[in-house]
Amino acid sequence: MIEVVVKGRGGQGAKTAVEVLARAANHEDKFFLAYPEFGPERSGTPINAYFKLNDTLVRSRSPIKSPDIILVLDTSLDKFASGIKKKGMIIVNSVDEKKYHFVDAEKIAKEIVGRSLPNIIMLGALVKITKILKKESVEKAIKDSFKGKIADMNLKCFDEGFKNAK
């Protein structure tokens, strides 16, 4: 099983990111579970969203304690690497190349969306780096999730994240 934690702040699209991954997994006939973890917090408060992908039925709905992959939407979140598995991977919204895969999703989002909304850009990086889902499946899931100009904008965001991931 592949376990992904998306860490962000309310309003950055962590919940939407795992929903898009779930739709992409569905297009590939894979078993998955996608759910957010947050309470009555407001926009801007830290949240986690979880995505579990497997070849067999996913039964556990518990929070992921040792993820294979952490997708960080907001680098100001402290301790984002705690609990990751020994050979785990971190994909960070940052220009810091020291020890993580990175993509400057903040800059790309501001250019395309006009504000900080890194979620779909970070999914592009996730798919390029991990290959846990096919690029085409995620693109189809984006088209299922959004309509018209919003879908086009998100497809462009996804493609830029895919192209710019390092």
Give the integer Cα–Cα distance in Å for 99 and 165. Answer: 14
The two structure tokens encoding residue 146? 């959004």
Return left, alpha or beta for 74; rule: phi > 0 is left, psi -120 to 50 is alpha, else beta. Answer: beta
DSSP helix/strand/coil, 32? strand
All structural domains of the chain: 2-164 (3.40.920.10)
DSSP helix/strand/coil, 16? helix
Q: Which residue has the higher pLDDT, 99 or 50?
A: 50
Please tell me the pTM assigned to this model.
Answer: 0.84
Give the integer Cα–Cα distance in Å for 88 and 114. Answer: 32
> pLDDT tens, 30-80?
999 999 987 666 677 888 999 999 999 999 888 898 999 999 898 665 555
Please report which confidence band the pLDDT of residue 85 belongs to, taking 50, 70 and 90 as the band edges: confident
